[in-house]
């Protein structure tokens, strides 16, 4: 399958560029221990990631994807998690196989690259820097850059405006329903990674334009 050649490509972080679950799971489990509760383990946390750390903490407190903890529980837990994650943003996280090669290919083809994530800037920027890819991006739009975040199309359109690129000439690389929804609403093409975080669902269920197993496959598509 060949897609329209874009002028700009925006890339998600967690589940697309970076496997950040090992650090997030460590922080969730340590938070739970400090609260005197049982740890959840990495497998469960992997299904809860993808909507920002506040949502992750809420899910951890109730032990499931949907629902809300009490305000008292959240207000006690959230600061613990933030302190833990500030110290463990990139100790266990790593780039997925093929990411470095994919970024090199996109740069070699002259694509303008941006990063759009729901992760807060205080965690995103150090993570990208620690993994050596921060400077690949002409703009980094984080979960707290704007009043809205994905699945709202606002962050994608903000990046497109920054580069002076029309939506018809833009593409998103992501891994979740949130990425597909945002891209469709913005009028972008959307390619998804098969390996990412989509709450245990196959991303193909949400009909992105293409699904790939490695960013190295981009050379066959664009």
Catalytic residues: 12
The 10 Å Cβ neighbour count of residue 218 is 23
- DSSP for 25-87 reads HHHHHHHHHHTT-----HHHHHHH-SS-HHHHHHHHHHTSSS----HHHHHHHHHHHHHHHHH
- DSSP for 170-186 reads EEEEESSHHHHHHHHHH
Query: Tokens representing 51?
Result: 């909507």
Instruction: Name the residue with tokens 């469709």.
Output: 184
Phi, psi of 3 (to 5 degrees): -100, 165
How many residues does the structure list for the chain? 222
3-state SS assignment for residue 141: strand
């Amino acid at each position: 399958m060949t897609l329209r050649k874009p002028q700009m490509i925006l890339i998600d972080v967690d589940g697309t560029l970076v496997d950040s679950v090992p650090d997030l799971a460590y922080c969730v489990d340590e938070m739970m221990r400090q609260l005197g509760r049982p740890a959840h383990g990495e497998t469960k946390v992997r299904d809860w990631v993808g909507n920002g750390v506040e949502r992750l903490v809420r899910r951890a407190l109730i032990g499931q994807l949907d629902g809300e903890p009490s305000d008292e529980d959240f207000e006690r837990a959230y600061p613990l998690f933030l302190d833990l994650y500030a110290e463990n943003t990139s100790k266990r996280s790593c780039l997925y196989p093929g990411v470095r090669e994919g970024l090199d290919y996109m740069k070699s083809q002259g694509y303008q690259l941006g990063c759009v994530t729901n992760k807060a800037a205080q965690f995103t920027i150090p993570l990208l820097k620690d993994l050596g890819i921060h400077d690949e991006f002409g703009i980094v739009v984080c979960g707290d850059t704007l009043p809205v975040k994905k699945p709202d199309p606002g962050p994608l359109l903000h990046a497109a405006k920054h580069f002076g690129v029309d939506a018809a000439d833009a593409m998103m690389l992501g891994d979740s329903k949130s990425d597909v929804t945002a891209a469709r609403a913005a009028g972008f093409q959307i390619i998804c990674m098969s390996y990412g975080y989509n709450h245990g669902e196959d991303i193909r269920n949400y009909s992105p334009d293409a699904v790939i197993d490695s960013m190295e496959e981009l050379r066959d598509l664009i």
